[in-house]
Amino acid sequence: MRQIVLDTETTGLEVTQNHRIIEIGAVEIENRRLTGRQYHQYIQPDRAIEAGAMEVHGITEEYLADKPRFAEIADEFLNFVEGAEVIIHNAAFDVAFLDYEFRLCKANTRMDIISAGVVDSLALARKEYPGQRNNLDALCKRLGIDNSRRKLHGALLDAEILAEVYLGMTGGQGSLGFDSAGGADAANRYDGPLFDASNHPPLRVVQADAEALKAHSAYLKKLEESCEEGCAWTNTPVAAVAE
């Protein structure tokens, strides 16, 4: 399945007050793997940015002065998103702004038309962690995801972090069942990061000395005497003890 994890930054919070999108960031996932493909664009909104919004994302009107308008990038954005399942945190907010931009540039489409569906990761988080804070920072802390780069909100960075959060929330093993072909159920396979031995110090191995081996042999002999049919482990040599 092809999925797009998406985030936007805007001039303000209310689309009903004609606030506009000023940044779009999106990353692609296929079969629960980040592909490396991404879409990122700053956009000239043709209106002022509210001070409160600027404090959140740090994007100024001066910075956007030479950036393209949404109508100029609409086709490129649609080509990247079309046909994919789109994952957005607090999806209603971003979808409302995107649909508004489509109307303004007469694109005659909506997110629910161009995509294979929109998944609200905030709703998923509230179901998974009821009664807890479920903003992106809280989820990163809960799932052990590094978000130290996130000093301000940024659409592409937030999309990258949300992709990790989404995979973390949905990648756990649901059962130990196997399908009729004998393989693990694909829906329950863990696709998260694998253990990386390079990030850990080498295991220290302490060799057993002669006295320890003698004591071990005596203990096994005692166990063997208590077993009517003998004990298989008495033929297993002891080479080392890991610490």
Do 93 and 68 touch, CB atoms closer than 8 A?
no
Q: Cα dist. 194→86, 88, 190, 191, 199 in Å?
A: 26, 26, 9, 8, 12
The CATH number of 2-172, from 3.90.1150.10, 2.40.30.10, 3.30.420.10, 3.20.20.370, is: 3.30.420.10
pLDDT given for residue 174 in this prediction = 33
- The predicted structure's pLDDT at residue 210: 79
pLDDT band at 111 (very low <50, low <70, confident <90, very high): very high
Please list the alpha-helical segments (H only) found in 84-154: 91-104, 111-114, 121-128, 136-143
pLDDT at 20 over 90: yes
- Confidence at 173, pLDDT banded by 50, 70, 90: very low
Whether 226 shows a pLDDT value over 90: the answer reads no
Q: Average pLDDT of 220-231?
A: 64
The per-residue pLDDT for 187 is: 36
234 vs 2: which has the higher pLDDT: 2
Domain regions of the chain by residue span: 2-172, 205-242
| Helices and strands (H and E) in the chain: how many | 9, 7
Tokens read off for 187: 């829906």
pLDDT above 80: residue 189:
no
Residues designated as active site: 153
> Which uninterrupted H or E stretch holds 72?
helix 70-81
The mean predicted confidence, pLDDT, of the chain is: 81
What stretches of the chain adopt beta strand conformation (E)?
2-10, 21-30, 33-42, 85-88, 118-120, 205-207, 240-242
Residue pLDDT, tens place only, 57-105: 989 999 999 999 999 999 999 999 999 999 999 999 999 999 999 999 9
Tokens 């998974």 identify what position? 128
pLDDT at 3 over 80: yes
CA 26 to the chain's CA centroid: 12
| CB 86, CB 166: distance < 8 Å | no
Return the closest-CA partner of residue 57 out of 166, 150, 164: 150
